[in-house]
Amino acid sequence: MTLLDFARGPALQGAAFIFVVGMVWRALGLLLLHRNTPLSRNRDNHLARHGFRTVLSRFIPAPVFERRVSFQYVAGWIWHLGFFVVLLFFKIHVMFFQGLLGFGWPTLPNGVVVAVAGITLGVLLWLLGRRIVNPVLRYISTFNDYSSLVVTMLPFITGFLAFAHYGFAYETMLALHILSISLLLVWFPFSKLIHVITLLPSRYILGVKFWRRGVQA
């Protein structure tokens, strides 16, 4: 079995299995915990709607914080969007999903995807640098933060090399690319990357908390 066979076969299968196990495990474990419900009277009677509004409003910083945090919101936006564009709209990736799901969807030209991937990787590298240099981030950063960042960057790096046929042979790079994705999948449910399922509910929870008290959060 070659490295590519391993990557495309057991590695991806095992990683996907662990990913699904971990995500379901954590989601269910969180959902089953006791949840405190307040007894005092609400000021607001449309909590679900308003909670959802907070989910949306937190995608951009409040005006008063713009000067201080806009750049990191923007950086976050760029790389998250870039990640999804590259993941979902690169021709070869869609082939992958088509092989998996049985259907495909329109894609973007390679030139566009390469540019987006470049920008995304650039932003990720900059965020890594910032995490090391910025005193607050350096102080609060843990292994979880650095590793998650690196594990997220690896598929971009290996993907670039595979696409450009640079470094090792194509099948080795492709294998490394798939292995880096496997690593990301395995790392995902056990790291802060879990925020993919907790972040929006967390906003909703806070939204309900504040709206209940008559405060637009």
Partner 1 sequence: MIRRQQTLGERLEERGISRRSFLKFCTTTASLLALPPAFAPRIAEALESQRRPSVIWLSFQECTGCSESILRAGSPSIESLIFEAISLDYHETLQAAAGHQAEAAREQAMAENMGKYLVVVDGSVPLGNPGFSTVAGQSNVETLKRVAKGAAAVICMGTCSAFGGIPYAKPNPTGAVPVSEIITDKPIVNVPGCPPIPAVMTSVIAHYITFGSLPELDDLGRPKVFYGQNIHDRCYRRPFYERGQFAQSFDDEGAKAGWCLYKLGCKGPTTYNACAVLKWNEGTSFPIEAGHGCLGCSEPNFWDKGSFYAPLSTATELGSGTVAAGVLAGAVLGAGAGYAGRKMQEKGKAGPFEAPPVADAGQKENS
Partner 2 sequence: MTEVVTKQELDEAFAMFYGMAASLKDLASPPVEVADEERVAAAKRVFLKGIDANFATQLDACVHCGACAQACQFYLGTDDPKYTPVHKLDLMKRVYDREISPLSWLKKFIVKDITADDLRAQQELVYDSCTMCGRCNLVCPAGINIADMVALNRSALAAARLMPDELRFMQEGQEADGTIFGADEDLFRFRMDALQEKLGFEIPIDKPKADVLLVTTGLDIHLFQDATGGTIETLHHMGVDYTLRSDAYEGANFGLLSGHEGTKKKMAAKLANAAIEVGAKVVIVPECGHAFPALRWGAAEALGKPVEFDVMTVSEYFGKAVMDGRLKLEKDKEPRVVALHDPCKVGRWGGVFEEPRAILKAIGWELHETESNRAYNFCCGGGAGNFLIERANPLKRAGYRVKMAEIEKTEAKTLVVSCGSCRMNFEVGKVNAGDTIPVESLAAIIAAHLPKKEGAKA
Question: Interface with partner 1 by CB under 8 A: which residues?
Answer: 1-2, 4-5, 8-10, 12-13, 16-34, 91-93, 95-96, 98-100, 107, 109-111, 113, 165, 169-171, 174, 178
| C-beta closer to partner 2: residue 8 or 26 | 26
To 10 degrees, the CA torsion angle through 85, 91, 94, 99?
-160
217 touches, from partner 2, partner 1, none (C-beta below 5 to 8 Å by class): partner 2
Least distance (Å) from partner 2 to the CB of residue 7?
26
| C-beta closer to partner 1: residue 149 or 175 | 175
9 touches, from partner 2, partner 1, none (C-beta below 5 to 8 Å by class): partner 1
Q: Could you identify the residue written with the tokens 């990357």?
A: 193
Q: Give 60's contacts (C-beta < 8 A, 6+ positions apart).
A: 73
Which CA distances in Å does 202 have to 10, 52, 56, 78, 140?
35, 11, 12, 22, 20
216 near partner 2 (CB under 8 A) = yes
Half-sphere exposure of 17 (CA within 13 A, CB side): 6
- Please give the backbone phi and psi of residue 45, each rounded to the nearest 5 degrees, phi first: -110, 10
Q: Which two tokens stand for residue 211?
A: 């709206």
Least distance (Å) from partner 2 to the CB of residue 73?
7
171 near partner 2 (CB under 8 A) = no
Torsion sign (Cα): 62, 63, 69, 72: positive
**Cβ distance 25 to 189 under 8 Å?**
yes
145 near partner 2 (CB under 8 A) = yes
Helix orientation angle between 143-164 and 66-89, rounded to the nearest 10 degrees: 40
91 touches, from partner 2, partner 1, none (C-beta below 5 to 8 Å by class): partner 1
20 touches, from partner 1, partner 2, none (C-beta below 5 to 8 Å by class): partner 1
205 near partner 2 (CB under 8 A) = yes
Distance in angstroms (rounded) separating the CA atoms of residues 195 and 85 = 19
Q: Which two tokens stand for residue 110?
A: 């390679």
| C-beta closer to partner 1: residue 24 or 81 | 24
Residues in contact with partner 2 by CB under 8 A are 25-26, 28-36, 38-41, 43, 54-55, 58, 61-62, 64-65, 68-69, 72-73, 76, 134-142, 144-145, 190, 192, 194-195, 198-199, 201-207, 209-210, 213-217
